[in-house]
Amino acid sequence: MRLVPLQDRVVIKMTEIEETTKSGLILTGSAKEKPQCAEIVALGPDVKINVKIGDKVFTKKFAGVEVKVDKEELHIIGQSDILAILED
């Protein structure tokens, strides 16, 4: 199954960012407060911001609607809920 967003909506998949402490320990999402980082999975036809599928983005906390498609947990958000793009 494929989820196709309408209007200016974006489908995202939440991701974890590993962080390393000063002592070298790696903290995963379960060991700290989860950042609102996600990967863009699909874009609606009216999205006017400069993002593409596969981009890593930061979103507003509690934004959008959570859905499950083929046992995969996804979120549908409006483009205004995207705060920044994470670049390498």
Q: Where are the domains of the chain?
A: 9-86
Read off the amino acid at residue 73: E
For residue 31, pLDDT beyond 50: no
Distance CA 67, CA 61 (A): 16
Name the token pair of 56: 């890593």
Residues 6+ apart with CB under 8 A from 19: 26, 27, 32
- Tally the C-alpha atoms within 13 A of residue 37's C-alpha that lie toward its C-beta: 16
pLDDT at 34: 54
Q: In sequence order, what are the beta bridge partners of 61?
A: none
Residue 30 has pLDDT above 60, yes or no: no
Question: In the CATH hierarchy, which fold is given to the domain comprising 9-86?
Answer: 10 Kd Chaperonin, Protein Cpn10; Chain O (2.30.33)
Least confident piece of the model among 11-20, 21-30, 62-71: 21-30
Cα–Cα distance measured from residue 70 to residue 68, given in angstroms and rounded to the nearest whole number: 7
pTM for the full model? 0.79
